[in-house]
C-alpha cells in the first residue's frame, strides 16, 4: 500500500497570523503614546487651560504621525513602510480623540 504524498506548496500555515499582526503590532505600538496623549489632554482640560494649550498634545501627535508616515513612505517602503503608515493612522486616531477632549469644557465647581 503506497503512502499518500502531500504537496509541499500551499501547506505551510505559518503565515496565517501575518495579516492580523500587520494591523495589531502598529496598534499596540500606538496605544502607549496614545494613552499618554489622552491623559495629557484630559489633565490640561481639567486644569481649565486655554484652548491652544489643551490642543498641544493633539498637534504634537499629528506632527509625529506625519513624520512617521513620511519615514515609512520615503525611506523604508514595502511592507515595513506600510506598517509605519498604519502606525501613523492609529496615532492620528488618538490625535482626533485628543482634539475632541480638548474642545469640551469642564464645568467649574
Residue 21: the pLDDT is 80
- Cα separation of 62 and 56, whole Å? 10
Distance CA 79, CA 48 (A): 43
Are the beta carbons of 108 and 45 closer than 8 angstroms?
no
- The domain segmentation of the chain, as residue ranges, is 22-103
- Between CA 10 and CA 15 the distance in angstroms is 11
Residue 15 has pLDDT above 60, yes or no: no
CA distances from 1 to 4, 6, 48 (A): 9, 16, 82
Calculate the average pLDDT of the chain.
87
Determine which of 9-13, 23-27, 56-60 has the lowest per-residue pLDDT on average.
9-13
pLDDT digits (tens, 9 = 90+) for 48-96: 999 999 999 999 999 999 999 999 999 998 888 999 999 999 999 999 9
State mean pLDDT over 23-44. 94
For residues 71 and 84, is the Cβ–Cβ distance under 8 A? yes
The residue that leads in pLDDT, 8 or 80, is 80
The pLDDT value recorded for residue 86 is 94
pLDDT value for 107: 67
User: 108 or 28: whose pLDDT is higher?
Assistant: 28
pLDDT of the residue at 23: 85
Amino acid at each position: 500500500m503506497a503512502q499518500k504524498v502531500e504537496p509541499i506548496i500551499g501547506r505551510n500555515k505559518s503565515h496565517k497570523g501575518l495579516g492580523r499582526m500587520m494591523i495589531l503590532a502598529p496598534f499596540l505600538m500606538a496605544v502607549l503614546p496614545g494613552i499618554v496623549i489622552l491623559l495629557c489632554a484630559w489633565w490640561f482640560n481639567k486644569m481649565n487651560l486655554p484652548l491652544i494649550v489643551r490642543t498641544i498634545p493633539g498637534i504634537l501627535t499629528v506632527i509625529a504621525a506625519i513624520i512617521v508616515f513620511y519615514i515609512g513612505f520615503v525611506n523604508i517602503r514595502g511592507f515595513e513602510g506600510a506598517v509605519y503608515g498604519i502606525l501613523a493612522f492609529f496615532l492620528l486616531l488618538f490625535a482626533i480623540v485628543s482634539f475632541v477632549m480638548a474642545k469640551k469644557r469642564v464645568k467649574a465647581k
